[in-house]
Chain A
């Protein structure tokens, strides 16, 4: 089979599988988040933590619950790392340095999973499973809970009550993430991923040498790492490692896992607002941007310039030979279009424009389809902004799903979309402007600039993948990237929830022929356009000095 056809089949089969899952998974999630009954396990949990599961919360209380839960998680994870040598299953690892421990704690709680360390040589089993793996579940569940709550803002009328964070968190974890990742872990194990608590083990390499490394509960971590759009692997090289991602079809499965929740949530959204077409429109926006991006990345990689890539027909440096250029590009696109950040190839080795596309994917705010939950509320806020400008052009005070977009709504939406770009740009500028920041750069010229830009983009957007080429495990970068991750995650959540609160209070405006229809291709095109143009305009100077300067000749 010619490689191009193979690549197209790979991508097409993925899209088909996602399309097939969209409806059943979306409907299932709808039932999870709207059902009235609690199961036995959940009731035990609620009793243990002392939560009244049938009471609902106003947006402010909901937001405080999210923040309090996350803060405690960060403190717990920090302590676990600092004290790991005193605890069980440490494998003899030393306590993690303060700056790195802070960075890692924030990284996993914010669903970023930026790793400034090598997992196999830094973290013991306890930290990996009781700390990092737990956060892989709950940080994703937090994102989904916030997304569902934002949707409730559109769906509900004349109420202050937006749901119960603890219920959303527990249900998302127990009913959605756990069962799917359990099955996925079994399948991955069948594919050759390892799952063991053994101590160090020694393997004979192909070249006949001996390699000692720390194994772990890899398959289970791998499943939730992708499903929860986390990205933090047990091994430093992440999904490029044969024990994490052994074959081409496990590669396919991992890409599928990291896209499936985010691509199904719009169905849940459509059901909650009582109009499937609205959900299809949102998924169409996500899908359109994703397809454009995947196409362009593949084009950049497959038509790469340079002597060696020309000779072999594509850019292969930094890729696993068992995946090849196209499938690696697909993985890279998927991981940056979501907030996953797991990698099966070395993004730094991508062509200037291909790497630029990966940065651009994240700069989009990761909305196509974005992180578990975070993608949905991100795109809904972009839809609100689109509706505002487009709604004016039909001669009415703008409204979306029957809710008026007035001063308060646009203020909150603006606040939301201001935060991440500001963090990316300020972070990059601070790193470029200071000796402490620049000294970590291993490359100079536009490529070095791209590497720093990538790091701050990845952290601020809670992606977690790295371009590499920067020694990020320094006090400066650990601290600033940690701040970018924390602010990039929690500051936008507050206006998003406040927006939900504001929308839920409104009485609905009935649709008429004069209302802007938000389920037609016209609207889909507008949201795609607004998203791409806003991001392009904001970041063009930075992109021009990095990937564009390097890539255009």
Chain B
């Protein structure tokens, strides 16, 4: 498995307190900009895909015809607000899409028409043809130099270069791309800043990463996700029920009017039953328009929220699956621990003080640029206040750099020879220089190894000074995050190439639920299959080519953008920041999307209660005065009551667009607690809010002409 060093900063990003994307959500300008799109969506050919709003549109057409045939202030007011209801729904979708379109425009800029230098033979850098990037085929080899734009997606097969990927990732710091490792993938549209590389193109023409990104964020091929389809079916069923309930009311209404011959005709009820205008109003108020209007916006916004966190989901299905994940596989290195082991303790032997040991260790590590070496210098400084000296400060020092052969580094200074390195190498050096390491050192070294750490021995010519304890440092806040996961019912499994002993020590410290030690790619794949067999959904991150099978097998596979093309191809999401910890956020976004749907469905249905209390007395109090008791809002009159309900129904869509776009507030907690909270807010709120809203609207509109 891969254990490369991530280019991202070593510290885990602090968990965001507020996971909402703030600002500009109810930006009127954005609404106005989306208005033409919203109007274009009135086309029945597109409308019918949304059965709820299509029903409203048919109702709007029908009432328009009725109002033309028999005009009244009341009729026209209803007609206008019914059309507004449909337009508001379309606006929600258009605004959600608009946010993606802005993103797509930025991406298109990266996809400038570039040219490519295609090599005639991959071994000969001198002979190439200049062709348009769009003409490149899979398997072509191109040469790219500093200052040039990479013409297409591919793998570096020769050379190393620093690349500016800001056009894709938004991250301005350049990254290193080199042949033969897990950092070989380059993306079309990125810019080479230094050196020269040869790239083998892996994309088909027109199917580059950027092309796919543009299609994704624009929602061009957006397909309904399984849960969205299921919810749509339920909403369609509710629509049918309410259509039947309203249509079959008519003979009952005619009968009721006929047995009360003294009651005069009104705008709501005549001898022919409830008027068409009122009947349509009732249907529109009852069918779940709120969720029907916002459903697709919720899905688009869910993808969009991922994009804003620099994650590209290749399908909405994957985002939804993220909410269902019950097992999270996390690589130890770079995800749970900082990329490298760090010095945590100096253990002196032979009567040396800790401070002396620290000083010697620091001196011997000054010229050691490996992260382990740096950590010794830093730890000596932090724990003992030893100033870090620049190698240049010590004029007479002879530096001994670390090599794979000697497995030691050190310094010869003022007659002292200090070495630091792997236990066996340093002990051998001590014996060679005439010393006799005591058993104490051996015990120390074994003890540190057993606890999962790495021992480095520090020695002076002829004698051992002590041992430096290097250990994996778990990133800050990881334990809290894993506790959070546990509360959400998600099991975390740490994957590491370490031996079981080391793995267990780190697993315990980080607070993960389980670990897989000495993991090979096959082990990883087997683990995923085992979890899936038990009915669990598995999420993982990966970057190396050998991660590809596991990424493909997992339900949510997040490939790091720094990884190989094979890994990116196999996963169903790509994290442009290459931050493996983001998997946790992805899961939360998936959950948030589902919760938003459920909450707005509940809200939508709960709203109906108040609307009935407005409309039923408005229709029938004339024939059955007793029913006026249901007019608990004391609305001014039948017309204003019905219109107020219709207006509320339309306005609530606009009012909830921001909620649909940013998602309902989500705090990781148990299912029961989440449900209680959401029921309280959206269920109870859904019952109460319309009573207040309809009353307020009625207070305003009762003075309009035609309302009394």
Contacts and interface: CB of A to CB of B under 8 A. Distances in A.
Interface of A: 385, 388-397, 402, 405-407, 409-411, 414-415, 417-418, 421-422, 425-426, 428-430, 432-433, 438, 444-446, 448-449, 507-510, 512-517, 520, 522, 526, 529, 533, 536-542, 544-546, 548-549, 551-553
A393 B230 contact: no
Contacts of A389: 234, 598, 601-602, 605
Contacts, number: 214
A438 B488 CA distance: 59
B474 interface: no
Interface string B521-535: 000000000000011
7 contacts: A388-B231, A392-B599, A393-B602, A421-B245, A430-B251, A522-B675, A546-B252
Contacts of A552: 624, 626-627, 629-630
B286 interface: yes
A432 B252 contact: yes
B252 A545 contact: yes
B245 A512 contact: no
Contacts of A551: 626
Contacts of B592: 395
A553 to B, nearest CB: 5
Nearest to B613: A540
Interface stretch (B27-35, B103-111, B235-243, B341-349): B235-243
- Chain B interface size band reads 35 or more
A129 to B, nearest CB: 40
Interface string B425-463: 000000000000000000000000000000000000000
Contact of B230 (A405, A526, A548, A553): A405
Given A395-B666, A414-B233, A545 B256 contact: yes
Nearest to A393: B598
Q: Which of A393, A418, A432 has the most CB of B within 10 A?
A: A393
Nearest to B234: A410
A517 B675 CA distance: 10
A428 B252 CA distance: 8
Contacts of B626: 548-549, 551-553
Nearest to B676: A522
Contacts of A546: 252
Contact of A516 (B256, B324, B666, B671): B671
A410 B286 CA distance: 20
A357 B253 CA distance: 21
Contact of A512 (B489, B601, B602, B675): B489
B608 interface: yes
Contact of A429 (B248, B286, B624): B248
B469 interface: no
Nearest to B250: A429
B609 A537 contact: yes
Contacts of A402: 535
Given A406-B230, A418-B241, A522-B676, A541 B671 contact: no
A433 B251 contact: yes
B620 interface: yes
B490 A512 contact: yes
A180 to B, nearest CB: 38
Given A393-B602, A395-B592, A541-B616, A548 B609 contact: no
A438 B244 CA distance: 20
A537 B627 CA distance: 16
A397 B226 contact: yes
A403 to B, nearest CB: 10
A449 B227 CA distance: 41
Given A392-B227, A533-B605, A514 B489 contact: yes
Given A389-B602, A391-B598, A406 B591 contact: no
B244 A425 contact: yes
A428 to B, nearest CB: 7
Listed residue (B320, B666, B671) with the most chain A CB atoms within 10 angstroms of its CB: B671
A510 B227 CA distance: 19
Contact of A538 (B231, B242, B320): B242
Contacts of B678: 393-394
Nearest to B677: A393
Interface of B: 226-227, 229-231, 233-234, 236-237, 240-242, 244-256, 259, 282, 286, 320, 323-324, 326, 486-491, 534-536, 590-592, 594-595, 597-599, 601-602, 605-606, 608-609, 612, 616, 620, 623-624, 626-627, 629-630, 666, 670-672, 674-676, 678-679, 682-683
Contacts of B488: 395, 513-514
Given A390-B675, A432-B251, A446 B237 contact: no
Contacts of A395: 323, 488, 590-592, 594-595, 666, 674
Contacts of A396: 323-324, 591, 594, 671
Nearest to A392: B598
A429 B678 CA distance: 38
A542 B489 contact: no
A434 B624 CA distance: 23
A397 B228 CA distance: 10
B286 A537 contact: yes
B326 A512 contact: yes
A537 B237 CA distance: 14
B61 to A, nearest CB: 23
B687 to A, nearest CB: 9
A514 B671 contact: yes
A392 B324 contact: no
A541 B591 contact: no
A433 to B, nearest CB: 4
A389 B255 CA distance: 38
Given A393-B675, A541-B245, 7 more contacts: A394-B675, A396-B594, A411-B233, A539-B245, A548-B627, A549-B620, A551-B626
Contacts of B679: 390, 393, 526
A309 B234 CA distance: 46
A487 B591 CA distance: 40
A552 B609 CA distance: 18
Contacts of B244: 421-422, 425-426
A404 B295 CA distance: 21
Contact of B624 (A446, A520, A536): A446
Contacts of B324: 396-397
B683 to A, nearest CB: 8
B672 A537 contact: no
B620 A545 contact: yes
Contact of B620 (A394, A414, A415, A544): A544
A517 B598 CA distance: 16
A258 B276 CA distance: 45
A402 B679 CA distance: 22
Contacts of A444: 259
B278 to A, nearest CB: 12
A410 B623 CA distance: 40
A509 B535 contact: yes
Nearest to B628: A552
A544 B251 contact: no
A394 B536 contact: no
A429 B248 CA distance: 5
A425 B489 CA distance: 44
A517 B672 contact: yes
A422 B616 CA distance: 20
Contacts of A541: 245-246, 249, 252, 282, 616
A426 B246 CA distance: 11
A407 B251 contact: no
Given A393-B674, A421-B244, A540-B612, A407 B323 contact: no
Contact of A414 (B227, B234, B248, B591): B234
Given A397-B594, A432-B251, A417 B672 contact: no
Contacts of A425: 244-245, 248
Contacts of A438: 255
B627 A549 contact: yes
B564 to A, nearest CB: 31
B237 A418 contact: yes
A404 to B, nearest CB: 9
B599 A449 contact: no
